[in-house]
């Protein structure tokens, strides 16, 4: 059990470092202007058009780093710091989110799998914490409850790992297009790549953290069975 706590603390520290690094790099590359003066919105709209996608809207959403693609209403949502900014960071983020739109249009298998899991994960997340808590409290009299909680948590862990190839592929598509479309050049393409790589690390850490937590609950359950 001590080993589990060491892993948790280690992942928490790494997560903090990765998040801080991401924010630092976003701030840094947000100060580097694109030579063509295109805003995040314009970059996103061009990438969509270049990929033959005309039924997806690009809109602004409040907050910082709240950028996302919504396949339900077919919108690329760009945060305020990306939508109207003409920086390398804004171009990288906008292209990444459009990468998800391209995945959706091309029926990218991992994205379809993740989308199919969304309702299950939303349901699991809504009751999982209470079931796990009750399962630990009632471990001696009703161990099956904890097992149910573990199964629910396993779904969120699976979702985290399926997210990895989806995010990595979206960044790959974004970087290829940014280069081929001439949005970035030799002097700033590495910056866009560095920014997206830092963002990818946050998903890796999240997936590992979820897996470590799942193993922790399994150890509690297995420890009860071995008594």
Q: Which residues participate in catalysis according to the annotation?
A: 97
Region of 184 (left: φ > 0; alpha: ψ -120 to 50; beta: rest) is: beta
CA distances from 163 to 138, 155, 190 (A): 33, 12, 24
CA atoms within 13 A of residue 224's CA, in its CB half-sphere: 18
Residue pair 99/171 in contact (Cβ under 8 Å)? The answer is yes
């Amino acid at each position: 059990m001590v080993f589990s706590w060491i892993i948790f603390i280690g992942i928490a520290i790494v997560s903090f470092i990765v998040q801080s690094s991401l924010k630092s790099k976003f701030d840094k590359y947000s100060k580097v202007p694109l030579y063509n003066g295109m805003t995040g919105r314009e970059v996103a709209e061009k990438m969509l058009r270049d990929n033959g996608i005309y039924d997806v809207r690009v809109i602004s959403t409040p907050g910082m780093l709240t950028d996302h693609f919504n396949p339900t209403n077919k919108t690329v949502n760009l945060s305020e710091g990306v939508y109207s900014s003409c920086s390398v960071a804004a171009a990288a983020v906008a292209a990444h989110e459009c990468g998800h739109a391209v995945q959706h249009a091309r029926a990218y298998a991992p994205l379809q799998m993740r989308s199919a899991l969304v309702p299950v994960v939303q349901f699991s997340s809504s009751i999982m914490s209470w079931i796990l808590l009750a399962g630990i409290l009632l471990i001696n009299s009703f161990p099956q409850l904890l097992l149910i909680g573990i199964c629910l948590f396993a779904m969120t862990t699976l979702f985290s790992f399926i997210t990895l190839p989806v995010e990595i592929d979206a960044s790959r598509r974004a970087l290829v297009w940014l280069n081929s479309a001439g949005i970035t050049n030799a002097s700033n393409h590495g910056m866009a790549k560095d920014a997206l790589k830092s963002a990818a690390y946050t998903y890796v850490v999240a997936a590992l953290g979820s897996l470590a937590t799942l193993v922790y609950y399994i150890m509690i359950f297995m420890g009860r069975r071995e008594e």
